[in-house]
Amino acid sequence: MKVETVDTALNPFAKDTLLGLSAQPKFLYSKYMYDDMGSRLFQQIMQMPEYYLTDCEYEILDQQTKEIQHTFSGNGQEFDLIELGAGDGLKTKVLMTHFLEQHAKFKYIPIDISEKATRELVTSLENQFPELAVEERVGDYFQMIRELNKVDFNRKIILFLGSNIGNYDDQQCHDFFQDLADVMNKNDMLFIGFDLKKDPAVIMQAYNDPHGYTRRFNLNHLLRINRELDGNFDLENFIHHETYNPVDGVAKSHLLSTCEHTVTLNALQRQFHFKQYEPIVMEMSRKYDLETIHRLATLNGFRVVKNFFDKRRYFVDSVWQLNS
């Protein structure tokens, strides 16, 4: 992929948009899809019957809570439940309900870059679990964990749910695990979700849904560019296209330009030319097999302690610890 150097004085959204639209092939960073409208659209995606990921992980957390608690705290020791990118905390609340009923000694520490989302989550938790100890953090995941390590010596259980790791390319994945290894102690655990390889038809139904939510989710990114960078993307000039490669397990979302045209982003004082059927790569979602998960753990200095599967074995929540 060819990219150009961009002005470091630009805000991150502007800088990353310029970087992506100047590349060959063009791409946009999927992390910027989750503005207010994008987050609402993604909630609709997660509620679709075709989007199996949410139901599979919910089943794991709902049906195997006793075994999960024993893995986290077999001898009853106190632990910190740290969630990276907690969102609305829907699935985590299933775990916490069980932990509280069993009088487990823990506190919940959601970490997110969004102050608004974190505030809404904490308010929800205060109403639903008034007895729950919550210590929210807003900022960079790894910096927040470093700060916790200075004042809190409990075992840390780090949650990274929803197969978010599947959105990372190989280098981003390596960097993420190395950053985690740098802030974790040997007694800590990582509880991480992986979407498993399966019938491609099942995957395509989830990411190329008949309701059009995924299409709207991708197109909303262009609306955000128009709004924040004074652009003139015409949504009528783009169609959504999904691919899945069963060899590498990567599903990719694209927006294809249906005609040759030029887009202007006034805030960047730049124009971007599109050929007919030229794609913008919007998002990738990697699917894994167990061999790849074990290899990924080993290469980054971890070992797999236990795997929790849903009944269809579509999804796995894997428990990792640092190698001794």
Residue linked to tokens 């207010």:
36
The tokens describing 317, both together, are 């929540």
How many CA atoms are closer than 13 Å to the CA of 145, on its beta-carbon side?
A: 21
Q: Tell me the domains of the chain and their CATH numbers.
A: 12-49+201-286 (no CATH), 64-196+288-322 (3.40.50.150)
CA 139 to centroid of chain Cα atoms: 16
- CB count within 10 Å of CB 24 equals 10
Contacts with 168 (C-beta within 8 Å, 6 or more apart), sequence order: 176, 286
List pLDDT tens digits, range 101-120. 999 999 999 988 778 888 88
- Each of the 324 residues of the chain gets a pLDDT tens digit; together they read 544 545 556 888 999 999 999 999 999 998 899 888 888 898 889 889 999 999 999 999 999 999 999 999 877 889 999 999 887 788 899 999 999 999 999 999 998 877 888 888 999 999 999 999 999 998 888 888 888 888 778 899 999 998 999 999 899 999 999 999 999 998 999 999 999 999 999 999 999 988 999 999 999 999 999 999 999 999 999 999 999 999 999 999 999 999 999 999 999 999 999 999 999 999 999 999 999 999 999 999 999 999 999 999 999 999 999 997
User: Could you tell me if 120 and 87 are in contact, meaning their C-beta atoms sit under 8 angstroms apart?
Assistant: no
Beta bridge partners of 316: 194, 309
User: Could you tell me if 16 and 32 are in contact, meaning their C-beta atoms sit under 8 angstroms apart?
Assistant: yes
Residue linked to tokens 């899945």:
244
Residue linked to tokens 């390590």:
149
**Alpha helical stretches, state H, the chain:** 12-21, 36-46, 52-63, 65-72, 90-101, 115-128, 141-151, 170-183, 200-207, 213-229, 290-299
CA dist 269 → 22, 171, 230, 234, 237 (Å)? 13, 31, 10, 18, 21
Residue linked to tokens 């949650």:
159
**pLDDT at position 304:** 97
Nearest to 198 by CA among 314, 46, 55, 312: 314
